[in-house]
Amino acid sequence: MRDLKIPAERHPEKAHRPDNEQPKKPSWIRVKAPVSEGYKQTRDIMRANNLVTVCEEAGCPNVGECWSQGHATMMIMGEICTRGCTFCNIATGRPDELDAFEPGRVADAVQKLGLNHVVITSVDRDDLTDGGAEHFAQTIRAVRHRSPNTTIEILTPDFLKCEDSVLETVVAARPDVFNHNLETVPRLYPEVRPGARYFHSLRLLQRVKDMDPSMFTKSGIMVGLGEDRQSVLQVMDDMRSADIDFLTIGQYLQPTPKHHRVDRFVKPEEFKSYETAAFGKGFLMVSATPLTRSSYHAGDDFAQLRAARQKKLGLA
């Protein structure tokens, strides 16, 4: 479907603003500084195990809330990415060699935090022949061994430059949720995700379902990058055609002046309308709020996702 441009008058806050002027951050996007004792305990466990978290590296606005509750998203395979996405604050460059002991340290941290649900993500590793697929699988197995009752959600790169067979390595390790974010609408890929391909990412998630129909799949996009409503609805349709179960939509926040600018701050009522539309298109679970991120409230959302499937199958 053609990506239509909504006229400026549809968004009054943009109508008289110069293109190079940043919109003012609204009250609903502000969060409290991380100062709780729970936050400090989680931080100390991460430091003691020499682990990187996307919460810190990507400047997540929810880090204070999540860490105070003992929730953290582990980022494996280092803190240097081989891609240069204009929305992301993670460093780009030549990564270090993989750390063979990292899967065990992730498993130790999960056990010490007593997590019921863990999210494991990574930087893009185009320098590796398998894109890090085996390292993902080893980390999943290590967590399963140390904390067998913990459910595991992975947020993977696209494995764009790898053989198709590497995806089987990750799926065979049996994570509970396979997440890969589309991030934005197809029209914005050249400027937002220049190293990625929209339909490759979509196909990746479809292939996961082909390999294991019982595995939950998840994907997310940001809004406020310059997309319009019709293109967001089209992405929803594309996701459903790939049988994706869970959709997240959150507000894009510009990490630094060098990153892609914020086009506008989407109002809470518009997020609500996206949520309604997404459920109408058949997603089992939808999280659409200004502060939604892929791993925000992931444990609670997984429980709801599992319950929704059971209800759909008539088992609840």
Q: Is the pLDDT of residue 5 over 90?
A: no
Q: Which pLDDT belongs to residue 112? A: 86
Selected residue with higher pLDDT from 152 and 29: 152
Selected residue with higher pLDDT from 176 and 62: 176
CATH tag for 31-312 (out of 3.40.50.1370, 3.40.50.150, 3.20.20.70, 3.40.50.1580): 3.20.20.70
By CB atoms closer than 10 A (0-12, 13-18, 19+), residue 214 is: exposed
Give me the residue spans of the domains in the chain: 31-312
Least confident of 65-79, 123-137, 143-157, 254-268: 65-79
Whole-number Å distance between alpha carbons of 74 and 66: 13
pLDDT band of residue 7 (cuts 50, 70, 90) is very low
Quote the crossing angle between the two packed helices 37-48 and 102-113, to the nearest 10°. Answer: 150
The string of pLDDT tens digits covering residues 102-145 is 999 999 988 988 888 899 999 999 999 999 999 999 999 999 99
Q: Which pLDDT belongs to residue 105? A: 92
Whole-number Å distance between alpha carbons of 271 and 288: 5
User: pTM of the full predicted structure?
Assistant: 0.84
Whole-number Å distance between alpha carbons of 132 and 153: 16
Tokens of 131: 């894109």
Quote the crossing angle between the two packed helices 229-241 and 268-280, to the nearest 10°. Answer: 30
Selected residue with higher pLDDT from 45 and 302: 302
The answer to whether 204 and 97 are in contact (CB under 8 A) is: no
Q: Is the pLDDT of residue 69 over 60?
A: no
Quote the crossing angle between the two packed helices 198-211 and 229-241, to the nearest 10°. Answer: 30
